[in-house]
Copies of this chain bind each other. A is one copy, B any other.
Amino acid sequence: MPTKTLYKKVTIVGVGMMGGSLGMALKKAGLAKEVTGWGRNEEKLKKAQARGAVDNWSLEREAALDGAELLVFATPGEVTSALSQEWMAGAPPGCLITDLCSVKRDLPAALTSLTGPSRYYASSHPMCGSEKSGVEAARSDLFRGRLCFITPVTSTRKRSLREIQSFWQALEMRVVSLAPIRHDRIVAAVSHLPHLLAAALINQVGDRKLLEFTGTGLADLTRIAASDPLLWLEIIRQNRENVARQLDLLTASLTELRKMVAEEDGRRLRSWLQKARLRRRKLSGS
């Protein structure tokens, strides 16, 4: 069992669905004495406080950082990049810093270079986003039983890694450590491609004016297509080479499938469907 650290103060930058859920989960698990939220929109911060996602909040960086032992960027990649320099310079000595961004090509290296000798940083990607956004959709059990990637670079310090791993494990996440480049390849296949596919499918059905004829299967398949388009535009564009490669693979596989469908003999299609069933049954958390 990992050691459970009680943080005196955790500062969460951005209290949307992810940041808000993290605040709730920390309070519920007894991992933080005080959770402070920072954002640019007072209404949203008040809502987060009302939901119990943060104990208090501030619109000022210095006040939000004062006494923080853990600093979490729960903001999209571009916002995190833009904020990181000032926030990391202002973090108290000994503070552990992490982000929750979906693409790791540049961010972990850039933020690691900003730590200096007295701060600790390791990049995280808890795989539990949803199509919902905003603190209204936050849930204290969002992380439990889910997968969390941590993506060290060569200069990531051992203490940062150990501490961030214990942190997510204390929230009952399954932690897997991967190099950023491998992480981005994997999420292109298991997350970014599925996202585009859900959108492609609902658009194909919508283009033919068939939305009124859908059943439960299509609803499940296209749920994530309701996600925030701007957030996803950024993710897809940051990881575009890997996403393009996954789209090529899928196009090739659909072409092959087209042949199987047209064949008189169904053996190949049957074994392909059987393989899919066995694999789907192996998936956890479903």
Contact = CB atoms under 8 A, between A and B. Distances in A.
Given A195-B217, A280-B223, A258 B269 contact: no
Interface string A231-244: 01100110010011
B218 A221 contact: no
A180 to B, nearest CB: 15
A244 B217 contact: no
B253 A266 contact: no
Contacts of A222: 276, 280, 283
A247 B254 CA distance: 7
A211 B283 contact: yes
A229 interface: yes
Given A190-B213, A190-B218, A199 B276 contact: yes
Nearest to A198: B221
A279 B203 contact: yes
A206 interface: yes
Interface of A: 127-131, 146-147, 176, 186-187, 189-191, 193-206, 208, 210-211, 213-230, 232-233, 236-237, 240, 243-244, 246-251, 253-255, 257-258, 261-262, 266, 269-270, 272-277, 279-283, 285-286
8 contacts: A189-B210, A194-B217, A203-B275, A206-B279, A220-B221, A222-B283, A236-B261, A251-B251
Given A127-B215, A191-B218, A230-B270, 6 more contacts: A196-B261, A198-B217, A200-B257, A203-B253, A237-B261, A240-B261
